[in-house]
Structure 1
């Protein structure tokens, strides 16, 4: 299995970074996972600003040479893991900008004249690992699960990715947030992960 980890946090002393290390350790101990690549968007200085004009058309974004490296990573990956904090009820702008650019028409989906397009990333699966200051139930009861609905339905299902798993951890700035247990849960998930 080829695994791509897209890590989105500017601070390598953060809890998000601890989850990245747990994922990497779990993958290392899993014989099913042969190859792992990490894309650290902040360290990469990824430009999240989506720009197009008369000369640079949005419809041609799928062949933008500046994004070829990232398209190759997504094509190569069988499992894509996103690790990020929840800020204002959603992923950071850096990650949303990456998604704006990478999940483009002609690469991630193709319009076919029907209600929904043809997803071009079928067969891949996604795991989203997010942490937030507020309680775990906050997004569900106060925001109608907007974060998960946005990613699962408006993005991943749209491009053909049907297998999507979320680890969404709350109270992560609280000393009683059970950090070790949550990190261990993620580590064990990837340690035991199989192809199915």
Structure 2
């Protein structure tokens, strides 16, 4: 199994980066994982801004030369792992911009005249590891699972992904946030996952 871990936080001295380290550590100790590649969108200076004009047409986005390396990362990976905070009830704009630019028609999906397009990233799975200041139940009870609906249905399943697993950790700015237990949970999951 080949993993592409997409890290989306501007600060490396934060809890999200600690989760990233545990994901990598657990994966490297897992015999089922052949390769772990980390893409740090902020450190990479990834440009999340879509540009459409006379020179850059939307229909050509799937072949934009500047994004070829990122397309190859996605193609190689069996599983994409997203690590990010939840800000304003959704992933950071940097991650959404990455998805806007990478999940283009002709690469991630193809219109087929039916209600839903054909997903071209079939066979891949995903794990979303997210943190938030508020309590974990906030997303479920106040926002009606909007984050999971966005990531699972509107984005990943739309382009053909199969299983999408979530770890939503709440109360992460509280000293009673059980940080160590949550980090251990992530480490154990990635050390023992089989698909």
TM-score by length of 1: 0.98
1:155 alignment counterpart: 155
Q: Which residue number in structure 2 is paired with residue 9 of structure 1?
A: 9
Q: Distance in 1 between matches of 2:50 and 2:81?
A: 22
Q: Unaligned 5+ residue runs, structure 2?
A: none
Partner residue in 1 for 2:26 = 26
Q: Which residue of 2 aligns with 1:188?
A: 188
User: Is the aligned partner of 1:53 residue 2:56?
Assistant: no
Q: How does 1:1-196 map to 2 (within 5 A)?
A: 1-195=1-195
Give 1:41 deviation, angstroms: 0.3
CA drift at 1:59: 1.2
CA distance in 2, matches of 1:24, 1:150: 25
| Secondary structure of 1:46 counterpart | coil
TM-score scaled to structure 2, two decimals?
0.99
Rounded Cα–Cα distance in structure 2 between residues aligned with 1:72 and 1:14: 29
Displacement after TM superposition at 1:54 (Å): 2.0
For residues 80-105 of structure 1, give each alpha carbon's deviation from its aligned partner in whole angstroms, at most 9, with x where no partner exists. Answer: 00000000000001111000000110
Q: CA deviation at 1:106?
A: 0.2
SS in 1 for 2:43: coil
Find the aligned partners of 1:13 and 1:56 in 2 and give their Cα distance. Answer: 37
**How many residues are matched?**
195
Q: Deviations over 1:48-93 (max 9, x none)?
A: 1111112211111000000000000000000100000000000001
> Runs ≥4 in structure 1, deviation > 4 angstroms?
none
Q: Which runs of 5+ in 1 are unaligned?
A: none
